[in-house]
Amino acid sequence: DGGITQSPKYLFRKEGQNVTLSCEQNLNHDAMYWYRQDPGQGLRLIYYSQIVNDFQKGDIAEGYSVSREKKESFPLTVTSAQKNPTAFYLCASSMSGYIEQFFGPGTRLTVL
C-alpha cells in the first residue's frame, strides 16, 4: 500500500531540545517537501528536495534542518533556534516538477 508516513502523530518536547520528525514515502517520488501549518496562515514551505543529497531552503527555513540521504526519507529537525516551534508539520512528495503533491498525515509538535 503506497503512501507517505509521518511519525509520531503527536510529539511533546521541552523548550531548548532539538527534535526530529520522520517522513517516509514508498511512492518512488523524486521530490519531497516540508510545510508548517499554523491556524489562519495556510501552509508555509520550510525545506524541499528534488533529488537525493540535495535540498533547498523554503520561505521559513530558519531554525530547521533536513537531510536527504535516501530517496524514501526526508527527516526534519526542529532545532532549539526555532523561536516558535509549536505547530502542525506536514510532509509531502511528488514526481519532479509541477505535479500534484501527496501529503502525509502530519505531526503535531507541542513545545512546553
Partner 1 sequence: GQQVMQIPQYQHVQEGEDFTTYCNSSTTLSNIQWYKQRPGGHPVFLIQLVKSGEVKKQKRLTFQFGEAKKNSSLHITATQTTDVGTYFCAGGEWSGNTGKLIFGQGTTLQVKP
**Binding positions for partner 1, rule: CB under 8 A:** 31, 33, 35, 40-45, 48, 50, 56, 58-59, 90, 92, 94, 96-106
The string of DSSP codes covering 3-23 is -EEEE-SEEEE-TT--EEEEE
Instruction: Provide the minimum distance between the beta carbon of 42 and partner 1 in the complex, in angstroms, as a whole number.
Output: 4
Toward partner 1, which CB reaches closer, 15 or 98?
98
**Of the candidates 29, 63, 35, the residue with the CA atom closest to the CA atom of residue 48:** 35
Toward partner 1, which CB reaches closer, 76 or 92?
92
Toward partner 1, which CB reaches closer, 25 or 101?
101
Q: How far apart are CA 3 and CA 26, in angstroms?
A: 6
Can you give the C-alpha Rg of the chain in angstroms? Answer: 13
Instruction: Provide the minimum distance between the beta carbon of 14 and partner 1 in the complex, in angstroms, as a whole number.
Output: 26
